[in-house]
Structure 1
Amino acid sequence: MKNIVLSERLGAVAGLVKSAASVCDIGTDHGFVPIYLINSGACKKALAMDINEGPLERADEHIREYGLQDKIETRLSNGMEKLQAGEAEAIVCAGMGGLLMKRILEDGRPREKGVKRMVLQPQSDLRLFREYLRRERFFIEDEAEIFEEGKYYVAMSVRVSDDDNNDLYDRAIRELGDVSEADAIRICDRFGPSLILKKDETLKKYLAHEKEILEGILLKLSENEHTERMHDIMDKINDITIVLSM
């Protein structure tokens, strides 16, 4: 049987899993990602979890359709609540806001549950989300930026670390060159250390697009009424300009 065809966004997420004995997909929706991972040989067994019964029922239908009932278990769960320690070497969490994903990780305690790697695709608040990952020693090792149906998405492969070796950030900070370390960390949090190091073409298009939007907003703001917002926008334009000039 042919493997399931994923959207470009979910394909990028699945592609970052690489290889794991067991994977837990949180917020699985239709169950497409675990089906793809099993059929492509990226993992041997998977858990497909969702907070809602409807998506899990659809996931069950698709799992039966591909004959994978013995390799993928579905489970009703609020975030990682029903994941037991040692059940998953890697987790996948995609397609939700960054603050919700942060809360799922805070409540789920992946380190305590023996999770070694996470593939995450937050859809908002990327700077705050990357700051949180750094603080918790969840270190980004690879990223993919995708443009699909008029929107930009970022997927990231994250190592759950027991040390302080944040190699990718260190390399990106050196690559950014003539800016302070604090500024370089902020830029990495904003746009992604791996994407900056790779000089990613989709990131470049996103930055050019974002710069144009921000400059348009700036023209419409009155300095007296919107001083703080103007400064925020100018700071972001400056960060974008630094990365585009690399």
Structure 2
Amino acid sequence: MRISKRLEAVASFVSNNEVVLDVGTDHGLLMIYLIKNKIIERGYASDLREGPLKSAQQNVELFGLNNKIQLLLSDGLNKMSDDVTTIIIAGMGGELISKILSNDLDKIKDKTLILQPNTQVPNLREFIMNNNLKIIDEEIIFEDGHYYEIMKVVKGQEKLSKEEIYFGPILLKKKSEIFIQKYESEYKKYINILTKLDDKHDTRKKKIIKHIKMIEVFL
């Protein structure tokens, strides 16, 4: 089966034979992909909305995986089973992912987290640092005009610099072609915005200049 490049990247972070919970599963395609490609044997797919969960149920039945994927109508980690070893939260804003995790910090201490925020990525990294969690891998991809960052997180402590919070500690080390492409594009965007702002927007200008200087150092 075919899934998006974004979901393929998320799937690549899953270790073999983990028991996975996919939070906000939508159509259930990620869980189906993981099982059909023999990355995992079974898992759980949850969503807080009945509509997407019904779509997921149809897809699970279509692929004959009723005995492999258990569907849960659940908000966040409320109904997570004790046997789950890896939690995936993908396609949400960084603040929402942080909120889901903060509501059940005691439940995630011994779990591997695979997180893919669509927005507010630095906010999520800061949350990770402040809650005895550690980023052990990151990747960045480009699909359909958007950049997506995926991170693998486990229990641990790390102190991130403001640059590592902004860019990603592992992404900074890798400095992939897509990473450089993203920040070259952002640099040009910020320069363009700056030329159009007058002195009435002093606060915004200072913020943009701060971003520009940070990008200049690491490109």
Q: Is the 8 A contact 1:96 1:123 kept in 2?
A: yes
Alpha-carbon distance in 2 for matches of 1:122, 1:12: 13
Q: Select the residue among 59, 64, 89 that pairs with 1:62.
A: 59
Q: Select the residue among 165, 174, 181 that pairs with 1:189.
A: 165
Structure 1 position 230, deviation (Å): 1.1
The match for 1:229 is 204
Q: Is the 8 A contact 2:109 2:155 kept in 1?
A: no
Q: Is the 8 A contact 1:88 1:114 kept in 2?
A: no
Structure 1 position 116, deviation (Å): 1.9
Structure 1 position 20, deviation (Å): 4.3
Structure 2 letter corresponding to 1:128:
N
Structure 1 position 26, deviation (Å): 0.1
Percentage identity across aligned positions?
Answer: 35
Q: Which TM-score applies when normalising by structure 2?
A: 0.95
Q: Select the residue among 93, 97, 100 that pairs with 2:93.
A: 97
The match for 1:123 is 118
Q: Is the 8 A contact 1:195 1:203 kept in 2?
A: yes
CA RMSD of aligned residues (A): 1.5
Q: Select the residue among 132, 137, 143 that pairs with 1:142.
A: 137
Structure 1 position 190, deviation (Å): 0.7
Secondary structure, counterpart of 1:21 in structure 2: coil
Structure 1 position 208, deviation (Å): 0.4
Q: Is the 8 A contact 1:89 1:114 kept in 2?
A: no
Q: Which runs of 4+ in 1 moved over 4 A?
A: none
Q: Select the residue among 191, 194, 199 that pairs with 1:218.
A: 194
Relative to structure 1, is the Cα distance of residues 115 and 37 closer, same or farther in structure 2, using a 3 angstrom cutoff? farther
Q: Is the 8 A contact 1:22 1:88 kept in 2?
A: yes
Moved more, 19-28 or 113-122: 113-122
2:84 is equivalent to residue 88 of structure 1:
yes
Secondary structure, counterpart of 1:43 in structure 2: coil
Deviations 1:16-49 (A, max 9, x none): 1123430000000010111111122222211000
Q: Is the 8 A contact 2:24 2:89 kept in 1?
A: yes
Alpha-carbon distance in 1 for matches of 2:91, 2:107: 24
Alpha-carbon distance in 2 for matches of 1:20, 1:102: 26
The match for 2:8 is 11
Q: Which TM-score applies when normalising by structure 1?
A: 0.85
Unaligned runs of 5+ in 2: none
Structure 1 position 87, deviation (Å): 2.8
Unaligned runs of 5+ in 1: 170-184
Alpha-carbon distance in 2 for matches of 1:114, 1:19: 20
Q: Is the 8 A contact 1:31 1:48 kept in 2?
A: yes
Q: Is the 8 A contact 2:76 2:100 kept in 1?
A: yes
Structure 1 position 113, deviation (Å): 5.0
Alpha-carbon distance in 2 for matches of 1:193, 1:114: 21
The match for 1:35 is 32
The match for 1:52 is 49
Give the number of equivalent residue pairs. Answer: 219
Q: Is the 8 A contact 1:26 1:79 kept in 2?
A: yes
Alpha-carbon distance in 1 for matches of 2:108, 2:192: 47
Q: Select the residue among 85, 102, 107 that pairs with 2:103.
A: 107
Q: Is the 8 A contact 1:90 1:115 kept in 2?
A: no
